[in-house]
A = this chain, B = another copy of it.
Amino acid sequence: MNVAAIDTPALVVDLDAMQRNLLAMAGFARERGLRLRPHAKTHKSAWIAQQQIARGAVGVCVQKTSEAEALAAAGVRDLFITNEVVGDAKLARVAALARDVTLAIAVDSALGIDRLAAALHHARSRAGVFVEIDVGHGRCGVSPRAAATLAGSVVAHGLRFAGLQAYHGRAQHLRSAQERAAAIAAASRAVQDALGALAAAGIACPLVSGAGSGSFVLEAASGLWGELQCGSYVFMDRDYADNAALTGAPRFEHALFVKSQVMSRAADHAVIDAGHKSHAIDSGLPRVWGRDDLQFVNGGDEHGILRGAALPALGETVWLVPGHCDPTVNLHATMLGVRGGLGRGVVERIIAVDARGCIT
């Protein structure tokens, strides 16, 4: 099928651009001697996870138990749930999954460790346990000094202490390079504090895992992180592209688009058939691809409104670069993988969003 025949709105992946992004990140990690474990919360696709693993990734991260289950069912064998689970029913699922795949999970409470240990014991399975420290985001994770206490509890329960989970989500979206450098410098101090506390307690730390697409160059340069969790680089959304580039960072291309059509025209605006049921707007509105002269105005759940001097005609195709790729992908059952560009390309592959809506 030609790109022209794709009905709208539709989520389209430029496979050529995505492949260049995959190679650029894999090359960066290899050159620095770092493990790459891309975050699959971005694409929620077993096929893309396998593309990443085929290029050297050690496995993928997920954020939710049900995401791990969905990707495992679709063939991914090495998964890290970079998030806390404290419900007993869900921990039973975690423990069951750990029988089938190589699994790791984050903890940030004594209660969470107790319950995880009980679930794994009951299921007779094993999982790597990362202690999450708050490195500046102000969300999950304990203080650096408390890491040693929790790691000690992990070990005391007979579980495998896999290292520190240290991810600064908010830092990814600070626009200037200076702001991000300052945030990751502070995060590095937090990691050093935690490593110091672990050493004082006589606990070896096998790995520090973290970093995102906006800051990974900084974590890589710190010498502290051994594993990068970047996710969005694969698609490169509008929000990440709005960041000032960091020195030494590979250049990633937009690879995720919403194809839309002008469905209504007035004298001063055009209405397209893509609203925020087609693309997430939590990180701002999409950009009109190739038409920087057009302004996208929020038109609600099912419409987008375009303003500008040279408006597209009724029926014309309009391509959008979503503001935020992760929740945009989550809105769709499939992504259409295109070869040969958005203009004259062909649909080579229908990519299932295997973990769509997997929020538990």
Residues of chain A touching chain B, judged by Cβ–Cβ distance below 8 Å, are 5, 7-10, 41, 63-64, 83-87, 89-90, 108-109, 111-112, 134, 138-141, 169, 261-266, 269, 271, 273-274, 276-278, 280-282, 298-303, 305, 314-315, 326-327, 330-333, 357, 359-360
Docked Cα-Cα span, A137 to B90, in Å, equals: 45
> Closest CB-CB distance, A222 to chain B, in whole Å?
23
Identity of the chain B residue whose Cβ is nearest the Cβ of A298 in the assembled complex: B282
Which are the 9 A-B pairs with shortest beta-carbon distances? Answer: A140-B264, A63-B302, A84-B263, A7-B360, A86-B315, A84-B264, A276-B282, A278-B359, A86-B263
Q: Is the CB of A41 within 8 A of B302?
A: yes
Identity of the chain B residue whose Cβ is nearest the Cβ of A305 in the assembled complex: B139
Chain B residues with CB below 8 A from A87, complex form: 7-8, 261, 315
Q: Is the CB of B86 within 8 A of A299?
A: no
Identity of the chain B residue whose Cβ is nearest the Cβ of A140 in the assembled complex: B264
Q: Is the CB of B266 within 8 A of A134?
A: yes
**Contact sample, A vs B, 17 pairs, CB 8 Å cutoff:** A8-B87, A8-B360, A9-B360, A84-B264, A86-B314, A111-B315, A138-B305, A139-B305, A140-B263, A140-B271, A273-B359, A276-B282, A277-B357, A277-B359, A278-B359, A282-B301, A331-B357
> Closest CB-CB distance, A324 to chain B, in whole Å?
8
Q: Is the CB of B314 within 8 A of A301?
A: no
Docked Cα-Cα span, A298 to B324, in Å, equals: 15
Docked Cα-Cα span, A204 to B246, in Å, equals: 65
Chain B residues with CB below 8 A from A330, complex form: 277, 301, 331
Docked Cα-Cα span, A273 to B299, in Å, equals: 29
> Closest CB-CB distance, A320 to chain B, in whole Å?
13
> Closest CB-CB distance, A167 to chain B, in whole Å?
11
Chain B residues with CB below 8 A from A332, complex form: 357
Chain B residues with CB below 8 A from A9, complex form: 359-360
Q: Could you say which of B63, B86, B261 contacts A86, with CB atoms under 8 Å apart?
A: B261
Docked Cα-Cα span, A87 to B331, in Å, equals: 22
Q: Could you say which of B10, B63, B90 contacts A301, with CB atoms under 8 Å apart?
A: B63
